[in-house]
Structure 1
Amino acid sequence: MNSIQRKILTMSIVVLSIMVLIWVVLTYYNQKTQAQYNDILQRYLRMNEVTDHSHQTIIALNDYMQKPSAYKLSKLDQNKKNMLMAKLRAVTLRNKDNAFTLTSYINMMDSLIASADLTVMFLEQGNAEQSTEKFEEATRIDKYIAETTVTLIDKEVRTYDAFYRSIIEQSAELKRLGAWLLSLITIILLLFTYWFSLSITRPIQKLTVAAKELSRGRFDKPIEVHSNDEISFLAKTFDRMRVNINNLISEIQQKAQLESELQQSKLLLKESQLISLQSQITPHFLFNTLDTLSKKAYLDGSEETSDLIASVAGLLRYNLRRLDRAVTLEEELSVALKYIEIQGARFTDRLRFEQEVDESCLQLKLPCLTLQPIIENAVIHAVEPLEDGGSITLRIYEREHCVWIEIKDDGAGMTAEKVNHILMEGGNADSLGHSTGIGFSNVVKRLRLFVGAEDVISIDSQPGCGTKVTIKIPLAGSEG
């Protein structure tokens, strides 16, 4: 499947290829023209070089004749060497148009060097007249060389006149070619851009129309977009979303209908529960009744019975409060002592209870109904089954920035498997306090949620060695 990225890459490659082709053509013609220009320029420079060295040789010869010296003679020799080098380079300038003239031109350079040598020789022999004659001959040859240079340059100009005209024509052709190439590239880019934009905008327009239909709530009309790029995938995904939304709306309508029926059933159930509750004794009426019985027993002189009834009323009132509210350890201890007082009246000397409480720890916050179910569990399993009863010890103290609560009994104890079952799997019927209905596992779960740690409670027990339940609550938890 062609992607939008591939289309853009293709367009970039086409444009880049055209640009590279134009650059290669222009570079080739430019280098070719530049090489021809350099060749012509070198020919002109070599001819002018001959004339320049010829003049320098005459000047050096004249200086030597005026006042001969070794330095001036060496300077003259250097100019003659330059003339020989210029002659060698001038030989390469030969062509069919200047062959005869160039031959005379080279002979003149040889004659100039020969005349200069004769001038020096006659001067050294003291023959001033012959020396002057040879110097004048050398001067005439220098003049001829200059005139011949002009002639050769004129021939070069006429020879390369056609070349100059071809260069001008090539420049004009390059301009026309550049204009045509620019027009062609512009047309190609416009056509490609139109095709490329149309391949994107047309599917997007169809998607826009489909989105408007969906916004009007029409989810039953399929979305059809024919494309060979990512927009086709987007359209298919959009269509699947339409189908999913349509199915979801159908499910919501069905669930709304079921929920409406369920709500009606709940209203009927609540109405039935309300009628049933109206026929029962309310907790408020029960508390008032217990308080009345407590006062009646007190007036009849049964103070112990009065205190017991008051404890039962207080315990019942505390047990019926909401379990999601935190209380102080002092409140929990008070309720636990009321429970011990009630069980003490039941078991008399069979229940032995000891407590060791650090009062500085009593403002600690903890979940409601934490101590009583544990103590109740100890009474049920460590005191009630035994003929001689048993003892329960409660210790509250501070250590390592934590408040430690220990509840220990000397009952039959239990195995490690049962301890693990109670702590990890939620306990069983034997570990429930039957008067409150709050199970040991409920206490464990609420303590762990309250403190946010798994090691908040532990059980140390072995068969025949009793059981010790330890609760460890950090002091920072007292703020919650």
Structure 2
Amino acid sequence: MNKIQKKVWMLALVVLFIMSAIWVTLTYYNQKTQSQYNDVLQRYLSLNEVTVASQQLVTDLNNYLIKPTSDNLEKLDASKAQIRKAKDEIYDLRNEENEFVLTNYTNLLDSLVETADRSFMLQSQQEAEGSNEEFSEATRIATYISEMTLTIIDTELKTYDRFYRGIIEQSEELKQLGIWLLLLITFVLLLLTYWFSISITKPVQMLTQSANELSKGRFDLEIKVDSNDEISFLAQTFDRMRININNLIMEIQEKAQLERELQQNKLLLQESQLLGLQSQINPHFLFNTLNILSKKAYLEGAEETSDLLVSVAGLLRYNLKRLDRPVTLYEELIVLKQYIEIQQARFTDRLNVHMDVDESCLNVKIPGLTLQPIIENAVIHAIEPEEDGGHIWFRVSDRGDAVAIEIEDDGKGMPQEKIAHLLDTEKVPAEGHSTGIGFQNVVQRLRIFYRTENVLKIESEEGKGTKVTMVLPKTREEKQDG
């Protein structure tokens, strides 16, 4: 850790320690006071709740006696439950000073509930006079409960009078303590800030003056800063920069020239790579195809074999003549269909190809022999290993300023590591299949042709097939002409 950082951390730790100590102290006293105050307030609320509940019980009993409906009965039962709940809360308020009073108080609550029950029972037995007498008794008990509640609250106020005074005194002491702490912290922070700012700003001012002299072209003045931190080292480095600045300018000019030459060489290398990648034709494809056709001619008539030979001839002619320049998507589709016919002759019903092509997109320019290697990759990895074969979907759609080409199969898919390997054109490309054009070859030619890395995407999950998506800009031909 350097010296300036130590100064900053020391100032920050001092401020943090002071603020933490103040926060802990004030929080402790405030929490303690608040807890005591909440306990006392809860006692008063519990006593007041008893009064409200007793009055509500009498009201609900009177409503039921006047109109004995099920709704009024439910309200009466709810009032009784509220009385019992309030009684349980009263038990928690007992101490040595009020135990006798609160015991009588809870007994009154029990008497109120019992009287209400007797009035209810007599009412149900059609004894109106007895029910009214019990109701009057319940009213009297409720009134006495209210008066006794006020008496208990008054006693509680007298008991906790000293506590309230203590809270007021404690608040005044905390206020005075806060004022003194604020003044002390302000004084300490002013001293620390002044010392810290002087130790940093003075060397910075000296360095700034030297920088102004350099900006005026005065490289003969020595740069020197008297300090014991990193700014002194910065000044020494700045002085060495003053000495070597002319040499540095010359080196920058030479590097700029070299960079331009490297950029030109890079463009030439990309063109060479494009031509080299496009010229990879493996004659093994022709051998395999002719072998298939010979067996087909042996087993079947000459017409179908003739068609296959025409497809092979067209495919070979395309491979030899179309790799040196861009072609249209229409031309690629013609040779792709010829290739599919050859493979369907090989796999028969095991290969099912579904094509959905938007014909308005067929004029877009792409590198020659782009689609066939991708379809071939799907045939080899998704169709050939499966005994029942599989399906391949080929789609071309218009996306406004671009054309989307999707090639999807229902094979076993591939792991993410394999996808990353196929898209990493920095590695040595894998050997191609029957055409000799590997998948990495196609990816690299597309990136060179369109000068973007995001022209092709692979989506695949093991057991769920693979989908290759190419998004080709429509404006590539105009840029190339320009």
Q: Which TM-score band applies after superposition, normalised by the shorter structure? A: 0.3 to 0.5
TM-score by length of 1: 0.44
Identify which of structures 1 and 2 has the higher relative contact order when contacts are C-alpha pairs closer than 8 Å and 6+ apart: 2
TM-score by length of 2: 0.44
